[in-house]
Structure 1
């Protein structure tokens, strides 16, 4: 038994080796890459830098074969023909797209096949033509892009230089006007409710004429409509205005109770009502039709600066009939001296001037037929 044991071991080893050889051959023919293959011709119209015989062939990213031959076409110098062998049943059809892919950090080129959109397309019979630019690597593509950028910059050097100069000029202008820009931004913040809230302004008003005394003797013509006085944009404000126009310390935080045209209209209406409430004029939006109109055009409402500041109010008045004909017209103006250039004194002077003009206007209208 001891003599026969080595022969049994040797026999078992030989049988195992034979089985392993047959298994390896089977693997090579079915899985390992030397099974039944199908060959195809590929045509590249661009350089295929780095592509070698034996390079892999991928179909939708999966390796299915390798390159078996590469050759040039003498009659077509730009073309490169490649022969590939791929695994049987690889769905290479007539609409299969051909390209080059570069794998790894070193950019090893492989042929990349991509299935077409039509599953019913016939199998490929003739050569498959690669897409234009399929042979360009990322490095070559980057070089081409940089070359085009350089060409664009060269062609537009003068406009670019001019643009840079303009930006430099603009930046210098911003630097010179930083304080003004800060003021504009602060104003926008106040308008939008951001930033430090502006201090509340002191509001001043005009007063209607309450009593006409012995001058009250004639009724007002009726009906009569007073429209809001017209005025240039400069006068359509709530600020205290100055001539010559300038900012005066102490008047930044004061204003009138309404825009000047609206304020004048309201106080004139009240003055007419205080004179003759039964025949007082109507507002333009009251809906009264067939009435004459009293048109007021505000001409001045300002403080005239000088050694003796004065508050001046001036406006024209016209009574126009239903046909648009001017019946009568008059210019009214008045000025009042100010003892000091302060908001309370200015408001009081304007109030005195307005009272005199309102009284004169009411009496003039009452005397009109």
Structure 2
């Protein structure tokens, strides 16, 4: 099914939910991994609040997305993420930053922890590019100084990983590998103080 607007996306999601209740098998659920602990213990005095990434409507769901050569987006059948994609990416980014051992604290906006910086991001792509046979992850990020609201640093992080075939399992593995590359770059960038 092709998604071209938020109204169509909502209709497509409702239709899929309705059809899912008609005796179809439940899709496999896939998770994304955080970076492993680094063993680093010399934490800086900096603390970061990580906001949930924003993105266009199809990325707000828990579905795996395929981008056709003409730009149309469709949901890949047979698989879904373990949570809404933005919340899942936020959680794995927080865990990856914590696992680096380089920051005093890493939290979510609702944790009521005073932080030096807020990390805001946008999911620009998190899909399988059907034309090139690649998993594409593209996130833009900004570090905002909490006291002044000044943008201290901004960067775009991208990764492309070949996908063996366009099915739920292969897509999830390739997207997880692409996200791991992006997370590694983001953690280095945040920890560098930029």
Question: TM-score under structure 1 normalisation?
Answer: 0.44
User: In structure 2, do the counterparts of structure 1 residues 189 and 262 end up closer, same or farther at CA, with 3 Å as the change threshold?
Assistant: closer
Counterpart CA distance in 2 for 1:311 and 1:362 is 21
1:197 CA drift (Å): 3.6
Equivalent residue runs for 1:76-225 within 5 Å: 187=15, 190=18, 196-212=22-38, 219-220=43-44, 222-225=46-49
The answer (yes or no) to whether the contact 1:221–1:366 under 8 Å persists in 2 is: no
Task: Tell me, yes or no, if structure 1 residue 228 matches structure 2 residue 78.
Answer: no
Q: Distance in 2 between matches of 1:247 and 1:330?
A: 28
Matching residue within 105, 112, 116 for 1:287: 112
- How many equivalent pairs are there? 179
Q: Could you tell me which of 167, 172, 184 is aligned with 1:347? A: 172
- Cα displacement string for residues 257-316 of structure 1 (whole angstroms, at most 9, x for unaligned residues): 11111110000111111111762411110011353211111111111012x410000111
Q: 1:270 & 1:260 partners in 2: Cα distance?
A: 15
Question: How big is the shift at 1:225?
Answer: 0.5
Give the secondary structure class of the aligned counterpart of 1:240: strand
SS at match of 2:95: helix
Higher Rg = 1
Q: Which runs of 4+ in 1 moved over 6 A?
A: none
Please tell me the root mean square deviation across aligned C-alpha atoms, in Å. 2.8
Q: For each residue in 1:149-189, what CA deviation from the matched residue of structure 2 results, as whole angstroms up to 9, or x when unmatched?
A: xxxxxxxxxxxxxxxxxxxxxxxxxxxxxxxxxxx9x9498
1:17-75 deviation per Cα after TM superposition (whole angstroms, max 9, x unaligned)? xxxxxxxxxxxxxxxxxxxxxxxxxxxxxxxxxxxxxxxxxxxxxxxxxxxxxxxxxxx
Q: 1:196: Cα distance to partner?
A: 2.8
- Aligned counterpart, 2:90: 265
CA deviations 1:303-335 (Å, max 9, x no partner) are 1012x4100001111111121100111110101
Shift of 1:220: 4.7
Q: Matched residues in 1 for 2:114 and 2:54: separation? A: 21
The partner residue of 1:239 within 40, 51, 63 is: 63
Greater RCO, 1 or 2 (C-alpha within 8 Å, sep 6+): 2
TM-score (norm 2): 0.80
Q: Unpaired segments of 5 or more residues in structure 1?
A: 1-183
Q: Give yes or no for contact 1:238–1:259 (8 Å, CA) kept in 2.
A: yes
| Residue number among 319, 336, 340 corresponding to 2:143 in the alignment | 319
Structure with the bigger percentage of strand: 2
